[in-house]
Amino acid sequence: MIAVEDDGSLATVRADDGRVVTVLGGPGAPERNMSSSIDRSYTVGGHYEFHPSNNKDPYQDNICTATHLVEEPRRAPVEPSDDLVPAALSTDQSAGQTSSALLVGAVAALVVMAGGAVWLVRVKRMRRPVSHM
């Protein structure tokens, strides 16, 4: 898929044989500003297997044909950058205090959970029947 227009329903496609063709995913020419419940939309970079309803360019397609997406568009990897700092991260003092409070809360939760586990082990040991020989 090279390009899309008209809310994704008009596609410029490079076929596997190298030809560049047009596929209309709606009821007709895009300049008519028409749409229907069976319109198909396409994504740039996606690899589709087309099964249009006609045999010449521009090809007609809609959600009732067997056309389907074979491969999602490839996304460019995101490179880490020192230039971009998310707005949620603050460099003022309150951010440091908040993260310290979160750390203390997490440690306290771990201590409570560990204490509960020790208590459960002791209760289970106390309930074991004593065997008499």
Question: What is residue 15's three-state secondary structure?
Answer: coil
- What pLDDT sits at residue 30? 56
- What pLDDT sits at residue 129? 65
> By the 8 A CB rule, do 23 and 61 touch?
yes
> By the 8 A CB rule, do 24 and 59 touch?
yes
Burial of residue 120 (number of CB atoms within 10 Å: 0-12, 13-18, 19+): exposed
- What pLDDT sits at residue 28? 58
Question: What is residue 92's three-state secondary structure?
Answer: coil
Task: Compute mean pLDDT per 10 residues along the chain, 133 residues long, and list them.
Answer: 84 92 77 74 89 92 91 77 58 54 84 88 73 59
- What pLDDT sits at residue 93? 46
- What pLDDT sits at residue 94? 47
- What pLDDT sits at residue 49? 92
Assign 3-state DSSP to the chain and report helix, strand, coil percentages, each to 5.
Answer: 30, 15, 55
pTM score of the predicted model: 0.52
